[in-house]
Structure formats: structure tokens, C-alpha cells
Amino acid sequence: RDSTREMHLARLRSEFVSNVSHELRTPLAAIRMNAETLVTGRYRSPEKHDAFLQNIMRESERLSRIVDNILTFSQIESGRKTYEMHPEDPAAIVRSALEAFEPMLEKRGFHLEVQIADGLSSVLVDREAIGIAVSNLISNAIKYSTEDKQLAVTIDERDETVLIEIADRGIGVPSTERERIFEKFHRASNASDGTATGTGVGLALTRSIMDAHGGQTELEPRQGGGSVFRLVLPKGDN
């Protein structure tokens, strides 16, 4: 059993390295291609010039998110991760995360719906960490989308908690894997057809962050297709 487990972990690590390499290579290639086009002057108008710059900015932000995920995951795994907790406005955290994805959502033709309840309580959190958790869910919703490109973001309260929901119309998660999907290196079986890639640590990292905040990470199928990921945070001091 120990030998089988070690072989399984070795395979997962190998897949992780391969996935990370692919995830890093894609934005790096795009940045290089766009930069070379600008340097050589192979663009036809000022509008094209600006578009190439925007592509570089967008891919740089994507690269930063991947690196931040890996570094934070490494810190958590080694027990070196610390959190600076302060009362924060959950709506401000979500808006900031969404802002970084706006160009990508627009480019890929997503319909975005945002609903934020009035008078939300604050949450006692590490703002950067919760921002990473929210960004991971938004990134996955985009990455595993289908032709029905809808994204609904809701922030509300329930009892003594604040709920942040990210609902998509993507490929969904098989019912037998809805708990395992939060394990490190695990990717859903229906995401292994090559249509989307990932490092395999995003959801594991999101759950670790939520656990550290005394919160919960929930997943349920969305009526009509897709998934609803929910971050449940205790209310902080107002």
C-alpha cells in the first residue's frame, strides 16, 4: 500500500510539474509574440498598437496569478504561510478581483451579472489571500466554460456569515468528485480531454485559505448546467 501511494504521489507531482510548465509557457509565449510585434513595428494602426499592449498586460496579470498561486501553495505546504487579518469590505475584495478579469471576460464574450446585498457586514480576513481565493474561482469559471458564457457573482449574508458565490455555465463537476476536486493536484475527470489546463492547486489553495479563516468552501451543481462555488466567511467586526 505504501509503495502504491508513493507511486501515485510521484505521478501527481510529475503531472503537476508538466501542468505548471504548460500554464507558464502559454502567457510567456503570448507576451513574447506581442512584444516582438511591437519592437519590429509589424502593426497597422495605433489601435493595433494599443491592442498588443493590452494583450501583454493581460497575459502578465495571468502569469502573476499563476506564480502567486504556486508560491502561496508552497508556503502553506511548508507551514510558512502567515495571514494578516483586518476587517475588510467583502464587496471591495470581489470587485477588485473582477476588475482584473474584465478584459478577458469581454474578449471571450461573457455575460457578467453581479449582485451585491446592501449593508454587508465586514469580514476579518487577509485581503490578499481572499482575493486569491476569489480569483481562482473566477479563473476556473472562465477556463472551464462552454458555449454558454455566463458568470454570476453574488455577495450576501446568511446568519453570522458572508457568502461569496461564483456561478457559471461550464462543464460542471461529476457528483462523485465534488469533494475530491478540492484535493491538491486533482482535476475533474471531465476536464482531462485537453480543452482546458490548470496547475491542479487552485481549488486546494482556495480551501486552505478558507480553512485558515474559519470559513468553508462549498460546491453544488447549478440548475440548468454549470457549477456554483461558494465561499462562506464568518462576519467580522463592523
Write the pLDDT tens digit of every residue in 35-81: 999 999 888 888 889 989 988 988 898 888 888 888 888 888 888 89
Cβ neighbours around 131 below 10 Å, total: 20
Q: What does the pLDDT look like over 112-165, one tens digit per residue?
A: 999 999 999 999 999 999 999 999 999 999 988 889 999 999 999 999 999 999
Can you read off the three cell numbers belonging to residue 116? 451585491
Q: How many Å is the Cα radius of gyration of the chain?
A: 19
Please tell me the predicted confidence (pLDDT) of residue 83: 94
Is 125 in contact with 192 (CB distance < 8 Å)? no
Cα–Cα nearest to 63, from 92, 88, 94, 100: 100
Please tell me the predicted confidence (pLDDT) of residue 233: 97
Is 58 in contact with 99 (CB distance < 8 Å)? no
Residue, of 8 and 203, whose pLDDT is higher: 203
Is 164 in contact with 233 (CB distance < 8 Å)? yes
Q: Which residues, listed in sequence order, are joined to residue 221 by a DSSP beta bridge?
A: 227
Please tell me the predicted confidence (pLDDT) of residue 208: 93
Q: What does the pLDDT look like over 151-169, one tens digit per residue?
A: 999 999 999 999 999 999 9
180 vs 148: CA distance, rounded Å? 26
Which whole number is the average pLDDT over 21-43? 87
Please tell me the predicted confidence (pLDDT) of residue 79: 86
Please tell me the predicted confidence (pLDDT) of residue 43: 84
177 vs 92: CA distance, rounded Å? 32
| Amino acid letter, 189 | S
pTM for the model stands at 0.82
Q: For 162, left (φ over 0), alpha (ψ -120 to 50), or beta?
A: beta
Average pLDDT, the chain: 87
